[in-house]
Amino acid sequence: MKITLVTVGKIKEKFYTDAIAEYSKRLSRYCKLEMIQVADEKTPDHASETVERQIKEKEGERILLSIKEGAYVIALAIDGDTPDSVKLSEKIAALGVGGVSQIVFIIGGSLGLADAVLKRADYKLSFSNMTFPHQLMRVILLEQIYRSYRIINGEPYHK
């Protein structure tokens, strides 16, 4: 299985890049991991709704260009499903058994995801109603994907 993370913006803090590198290394036992970062747009202070929508659309175009045909797309969205770790692992396992060869997880920019990206998504996933820094969300998502593979393979994991 190939797992792709499409994210908006670059990681600046070393502690995030270190954590991402650690989970990437751990995941290499279970899947082929690809990380795609698309450029973010600068959001002016006090931007109007129109400007914010235009920014999300520009970022959304970049995201959509990086998704390969036939990939199963999971968008992180606050209004998405909130499965526990076991349910997420079951979803990933079922997709693999069902013949899906690539899952693309999408983390939007600070304004969220464009409607076109949400429409392209096959599934919307939420980790919480709370808002997290987008850089930290990459680490949390990778940890949950790693935990999913541990569960799928009957290996110990913290409950």
What share of the chain in percent tops pLDDT 70? 99
pLDDT bucket at 91, cuts 50 / 70 / 90: very high
Lowest mean pLDDT among 26-35, 39-48, 57-66, 77-86: 39-48
Amino acid at 109: G
Question: What is the gyration radius of the CA atoms in the chain, in angstroms?
Answer: 16
Question: Quick one: average pLDDT of 105-114?
Answer: 95
Mean pLDDT, range 7-22, rounded to an integer:
96
Instruction: State pTM to two decimals.
Output: 0.95
Can you tell me the mean pLDDT for 27-39? Answer: 97
Quickly tell me which residue has 């290499």 as its tokens: 28
Q: What is the structure's pLDDT at 131?
A: 86
SS (H, E, C) 96-141: HHCCCCEEEEEECECCECCHHHHHHCCEEECCCCCCCCHHHHHHHH
Closest CA to 20 of 10, 109, 78, 30: 10
How far is CA 40 from each of CA 14, 22, 142, rounded to the nearest angstrom? 19, 25, 21
Average pLDDT over residues 147-152: 97
